[in-house]
Amino acid sequence: MAARGRSRRTLSFSVDSVGINRGESLPPTLQQPTPVFPVMEQKPLPLTGGEEAEYLLALKQDFRGAMRSLPCFIQPAAALRDVERYSDKYHSSEHTDGLMDWTPDWQRFPRELRIHARKPARDGVSVARSDAQSAQKKKKKKVREKEEVLIKLETLQKKEEQQSEEDDDDDNTEQKKKQEDDDADGDEEYDEEEFEEETDYIMSYFDNGEDFGGDSDDNMDEAIY
Amino acid sequence: MTAQEVRLCGLLLHEHFGEVVEKVGTHLLRSGAQNLRTIIHETGLSVDLVKKSLMVLVQHGACLFSSGRKGPGSPTEYRSGCDRILRILRYPRYIYTAKTLYGDTGELVVEELLQRGHMTMSGTVKTVADRLTQNMEEGRSMDYSEVSSAFSKLVETHFLQRCPNPAAGATPAAPGTPAAPASAIPPTPESFPDCYKVPHMTLVGRGKRQLAAEDGEDQRNAKRQKMDSEAHGDEGIYWQVNFERFHLHFRDQAIISAVANKLDQTSSEIVRTMLRMSEVTTSPAATCTKPLSANEIFRSLPASYNIPRPILDQYLTLLVDDPMEFVGKAGESGGGMYVVNLHRALANLARATLESVVQERFGSRSARIFRLLLRKRHLEQKQVEDFAMIPAKEAKDMLYTLLSQNLVQLQEIPKTPDYAPSRTFYLYTVNQLPTARMLLQNCYKTVANLIERRLFESKESKRLLEKSQRIEAILASLQASGAEPEQLTEVEEMITAPEKQQLDALKLHINKLDSAENQVDETIFLLESYVNSTATSTG
């Protein structure tokens, strides 16, 4: 409203044409969004039943069910569960069978959509010849690489063995003895510590201060902290 | 591509093709034409899955590919449209129509083609024969020739058509392709001269029954490999369902049933005869059929209707005078030339739909105001109250409710250039076409909501549904292996009585929701036909 109209009770539109009479109050202002499910004043009509409607319904549900079993129903690999389970290894091969059932006519699709099947276990259901050859080549390459790695490892191992034979003949015996001693000491210490006074605490952990004062008898010059 | 349409398409793709195809499909719908790399990058799926989904979409005609915009060297672009995916709602109706026209064989042929998208004739015939043999008694099987004849009949009446060959975009490097890359519009199936020609096919045999025995399976595998290597003379020729032809059929049926409801059975028979005679001569986008003389109509009436000639003339005059304007008179030669006004009939049917929507939502008095505004175009508030004979206060209320729902619009006519409210006329008006479009979008939203509610209900009772499925499987295997009745009853009792009640209630709800989807689709068809008919006549 303009400032001039502050004292006068005029509205910006003519009252008659819109149809508000004197004394009638305007409807209350809305102060929140309209409800999500407003109340319906009229009840809706019931659905038309009849044979045709039922047959159409049956057709629809059958169609939906049939589509789920066709190869064009693509399901991604099942999501990983929270914990790896032993049976995952055996379940993963179940779902992927449907994908290869359908052999499309590749001339009707752009070349970039061709998927090369890389399953050496399958006997070439829908793998083109060139694809099989490239798969074989890749397998050969991998095998060759593996062989090379194995050969390298063998040579390294032989070298190590030769070195160790020359140098460590003596060391080996010494080491063996040391190990035995250590083991024995360990056992003794173990027994000593654990069972000396039948406590739960390992004795070496507790320092009872006997060594403290004895060491400093030689040098009186140094301060004792 | 409105938001409601995209949402509905997403739900339909999810139900019929899985969530991977749904993701790719909705992405294509939202973003327009894109090439493969962009799709992979933006959807975040693996390369293999995206490729497979695109193949599924192309196979079912939901996605078209063409060479890129920048010339023959750029990567192929894929684009998708809402229309084709929304047809999935109407599949049951197509199958049912094929059944009424061509029997069970026709029904199965159309169903197979709808499930697979594109198929060769030989493949379809074999699959359908096998399915029919499955349902027949022991020892009988379906001959391929019967199925082939049903297929040919469907092709002759244009219900099935050949798929167009992929455009030059499929092999951009191939030399000798025609100058198709220049045109951005993919060729329609109708542009090929052989569109409706049945290929010469050598296919002799009978349907095969699926045997349960093990050695039967080995034999079947051996036979399957042998058959796959046979050529039947129709390689590379793929068939698809011609949706436009089915739509014309539905439109004719709607007009005939409207005439039957408004007038009587005989008039509807006359209109049916007229439409049947002009099936081949009328183009799909025609405003009205070719003029038919009364003599021709008289001769073509079915033999069971023995109407004498003067009575037929009276019926035709009645049809012409009817305010619904289904039939019009186009001349006097040959005893009177009559046409069926197709576009006007569709407009009237759409108008009747709008009126009934207002009536069911707001009451009969609001419907009276709505009809009044449709007929009188522009009316002031006072005039509305007078013509509708409704007290002022209530009329004002109803008008404002309709206005807030956007079914009625306000037109301002100023007396002065400054549009001062006290010196402006405010007229109420109804525009049929925008209102029809708005209701069409509401219908899409309704179907999407129905589907979501159905999915929600099944998810709520998923545990119960799985349990009942397992028990059914156990029962079936027990019965097959021949168990005693006590064992069967024991297994049946594993489902308790309240659970059974819950399952029955769930089944009832799901059936209701599915049936409601089918019925909303009928309204969608009417409104879509009306909107499309106005588009072709003005544009």
Q: Which of B52, B53, B518 sits opposite A60 (nearest CB)?
A: B518
Share of residues in chain A with pLDDT > 70 (%): 37
Query: First CA to last CA across chain B, in angstroms?
Result: 19
* Lowest mean pLDDT, pick from A144-153, B5-14, B198-207: B198-207
pLDDT in tens, B56-72: 898 898 888 887 777 77
A58 backbone dihedrals φ, ψ, rounded to 5°: -65, -40
Q: Is B519 on the interface with A (CB under 8 A)?
A: yes
The CA-CA-CA angle for residues A164, A170, A173, to 5°, reads 100
Query: For position A111, what pLDDT does the model report?
Result: 80
Q: Place B455 in a pLDDT band, splitting at 50, 70 and 90.
A: very high
Q: What is the pLDDT of residue B489?
A: 79
CA distances from B511 to B44, B238, B342, B517 (A): 36, 35, 35, 10
Sort out which chain A residues have CB atoms less than 8 A from B360's CB and list them: 42, 44-45
Instruction: Tell me which of B14, B48, B52, B416 to substitute to probe the interface with A (most A C-beta atoms closer than 10 Å).
Output: B52
pLDDT above 80: residue A186:
no
The predicted pLDDT at position B204 comes to 62
- Render pLDDT for B370-425 as a digit per residue (tens, 0 to 9): 999 999 999 999 999 999 999 999 999 999 999 999 999 999 999 989 888 888 88
In whole angstroms, give the CA distance from residue B85 to residue B63.
Answer: 9
- For the cut 60, the answer to whether the pLDDT of residue A130 exceeds it is no
CA distances from B235 to A136, B119, B122, B327 (A): 31, 10, 9, 46
Q: Which of B66, B20, B91 is nearest to B241 (CA)?
A: B91
Q: For residue B175, name the pLDDT band (cuts at 50, 70, 90).
A: very low
pLDDT for position B226: 41
Quick one: what percent of chain B has pLDDT higher than 90? 45
- Name, in order, each residue with C-beta under 8 angstroms of B466's C-beta and a sequence gap of 6 or more: none
**What is the spatial order of strands in the sheet that B63-66 belongs to?**
B34-35, B77-80, B63-66
Q: What is the pLDDT of residue A79?
A: 60
pLDDT at A18 exceeding the cut of 60:
no
Q: What is the DSSP letter of B194?
A: T
pLDDT exceeds cutoff 90 at A122 = no
Which of B85, B75, B7 has its CA nearest to residue B36?
B75
Taking CA atoms, what residue in A is nearest to B57?
Answer: A72
Q: Which residue, A109, A69, A99, is CA-closest to B238?
A: A109
Across B162-198, b (16+ Cβ under 10 Å) vs e yields: bbbbbbbbbebeeeeeeebbeeeeeeebeeeeebbeb
Record: contact A111-B171, CB cut-off 8 A: yes
**Per-residue confidence at B440, pLDDT binned at 50, 70, 90?**
very high
The model's confidence at residue A8, banded by pLDDT at 50, 70 and 90, is low
Chain A contacts in chain B segment 162-201 (CB below 8 A): 163, 165-166, 169-171
B27-43 pLDDT per residue, tens: 999 998 888 889 999 99
Which pairing describes strands B378-379 and B77-80: parallel, antiparallel, or unpaired?
unpaired
- In chain A the first and final C-alpha atoms are separated, in Å, by 90
Over residues B288-309, mean pLDDT: 87
E strand or H helix at A34: none
User: Is residue A15 over pLDDT 80?
Assistant: no
Identify the burial level of A99 via C-beta atoms within 10 angstroms of its C-beta, where 0-12 means exposed, 13-18 middle and 19 or more buried.
middle
Query: Using CA atoms, how far apart are residues A114 and A111, in angstroms rounded to an integer?
Result: 6
What's the pLDDT score for residue A43? 82
Residue A118, SS3 per DSSP: coil
Q: What pLDDT was estimated at residue B495? A: 79
Burial class (CB in 10 A: 0-12, 13-18, 19+), B39: buried
Nearest residue of A to residue B48, measured between CA atoms: A115
- Write out chain A residues lying below 8 Å of B428, CB-based: none
- B531: CB partners within 8 A, 6+ apart: B433, B436, B437, B440
Q: Which residues pair with B410 in a beta bridge?
A: B428
Q: Which residues of A touch B512 (CB under 8 A)?
A: 47
Question: What pLDDT does residue B201 have?
Answer: 63
Taking the C-alpha atoms of residue A121 and residue B221, their distance in angstroms, rounded to an integer, is 19
pLDDT at A156: 84
Mean pLDDT of A22-51: 79
pLDDT score of B170? 35
Q: What is the mean pLDDT of chain B?
A: 84
Nearest beta carbon to residue B96 from set A45, A59, A115: A59
Q: Indicate the SS3 state at residue A79.
A: coil
A87-107: pLDDT as tens digits: 666 665 555 544 445 677 777
- Assign B66 to helix, strand or coil: strand
ipTM over 0.85: no
Residue A118 has pLDDT above 80, yes or no: no
Q: What is the mean pLDDT of residues A131-138?
A: 51
Q: Report the candidate in B396, B428, B398, B434 with the shortest Cα–Cα distance to residue B412.
A: B428
Tell me, what's the pLDDT at A102? Answer: 67
B381 contacts on A by Cβ (under 8 Å): 17-19
Q: Which residue has the higher pLDDT, B216 or A205?
A: A205
Tokens 């590379």 locate to B236
* Average pLDDT of span B345-358: 94
Please check whether residue A57 touches B, CB under 8 A: yes
Distance (Å, whole) CA B520 – CA B527: 11
Is residue B117 within 8 A of residue B60, CB to CB? The reply is yes
Q: Would an 8 Å CB–CB cutoff place A89 in contact with chain B?
A: no
Distance between alpha carbon B364 and the CA centroid of its chain, in Å? Answer: 31
Q: Using CA atoms, how far apart are residues B38 and B18, in angstroms rounded to an integer?
A: 21
pLDDT at A192: 52
Please answer yes or no on whether B381 and A52 come within 8 Å at the CB atom.
Answer: no
Q: A96, A55, A130, A185: which is closest to B48 by C-alpha?
A: A96
Rg (CA), chain B: 29
Show the DSSP H helices in B136-189 as ranges. 144-156
- pTM for the model: 0.76
CA distance A82 to B106: 50
Is residue B144 over pLDDT 50?
Answer: yes
Per-residue pLDDT tens digits for B199-237? 666 666 666 665 543 343 444 444 444 444 445 666 778
Mean pLDDT is lowest, of A119-133, B234-248, B303-317, B427-441, for A119-133
Tell me the average pLDDT across B351-361.
94
Q: Using the beta-carbon criterion (under 8 Å), do B426 and A17 form an inter-chain contact? A: yes
**Confidence grade of residue B475 (pLDDT, cut at 50, 70, 90):** confident
Would you place residue A195 in the very low, low, confident or very high pLDDT band (cuts 50, 70, 90)?
low
Listed residue (B502, B438, B428) closest to B467, CA to CA:
B502
Mean residue pLDDT of chain A comes to: 65
CB proximity list for B346: less than 8 A, separation 6 or greater: B251, B526, B529, B530, B533
Higher pLDDT: B174 or B391? It is: B391
